Amino acid sequence: MSLVAENLWFSYSKTEVLTGIGFRLEPGEVLGVVGPNGAGKSTLIKLLTRILKASQGKIFIDNQDIKTYPRLKLAQKLAVVPQATDLPEAFTAQEIIMMGRTPHLGFLKSESQKDIEIVERIMRHTHVWQFAARTIHSLSGGEKQRVLLARALVQEPSYLLLDEPTNHLDLRYQVEVLRYVQTEVKKGLGALVVLHDLNLAARSCDRILVLHKGQIVAEGKPEEVLRENLIQEVYQAQVSVFQQPNSNHTVVLPKF
């Protein structure tokens, strides 16, 4: 059981964005995707969620081609936390998060007590319960991002895709959001996380894919792929990479 991408190609007009992408996401792991702007990270998320259609290649969830999944059935398997989205500003945070239960509701049925309990549990877990009754209009960018995470988690998916989920968040909530993800992964969820911050990727991901010019140029554990020569080539920036004392976590520091 896994999420598998095989030989994905995609172009905008005549501009190739992804060329021959392939990887496997297993339940119980956090797979990070890093790379410079324009590398194809967000495009990859859109292919995995059928927002875009690959010109070549296939995507499988638990050995089934995603093209064959009905939309609601796919939403029970796969949830996404987008990079940015327009949310209906008159709705409350709780109402937005309850929308994540839609794939589990029967046709024209209202939410059950079970749905209500799941939403409250996830909202408390992700620390958004305190503004349950507040409208989206009144929330900060970081608060909205946490609402989007909670909405995805109440779908109870098998796989979670997060497109730069720490954007707009201060340091405390960057760490907390990734801890929430790790907690769910320990329960068997598979998570693919697009991140700009290489240090957050090193601390939170079991494996990392490095995208550059639409191709995977490295894949492996953080300490295997976050190397000075590779980072300098991909990001065109001088860095120092070392292992943090007493923890062996990889640390990437830019040179000024």
CA distance 161 to 47: 11
Contacts 24+ apart (CB under 8 A), 3-6: 3/48, 3/59, 3/60, 3/61, 3/62, 3/78, 3/159, 3/190, 3/192, 4/59, 4/60, 4/61, 5/44, 5/47, 5/48, 5/57, 5/58, 5/59, 6/57, 6/58, 6/59, 6/60
CA distance 52 to 21: 15
Q: What is the pTM of this model?
A: 0.93
pLDDT of residue 198: 96
Using alpha carbons only, give the angle 134, 137, 143 rounded to the nearest 5 degrees. 70
pLDDT in tens, 114-159: 999 999 999 998 899 999 999 999 998 888 989 999 999 999 999 9
pLDDT in tens, 24-63: 999 999 999 999 998 999 999 999 999 999 999 999 999 9
Segment among 60-69, 180-189, 239-248 with least mean pLDDT: 239-248
pLDDT in tens, 159-207: 999 999 988 788 888 988 899 999 999 999 999 999 999 999 999 999 9
Q: How many CA atoms lie within 13 A of 113 on its CB side?
A: 0
CA distance 232 to 226: 10
CA distance 204 to 86: 28
Q: How far is CA 240 from CA 183, 226, 243, 249, 251, in A?
A: 30, 10, 10, 14, 8
pLDDT of residue 181: 93
Mean residue pLDDT across the chain: 93
- At residue 107 the predicted structure's pLDDT band, cuts being 50, 70 and 90, is low
What are residue 100's phi and psi, to 5 degrees? -65, -15
H/E stretch holding 255 reads none
Determine the CATH number of domain 3-254.
3.40.50.300
Domain ranges of the chain: 3-254
pLDDT at 84 > cutoff 70: no
pLDDT of residue 249: 87
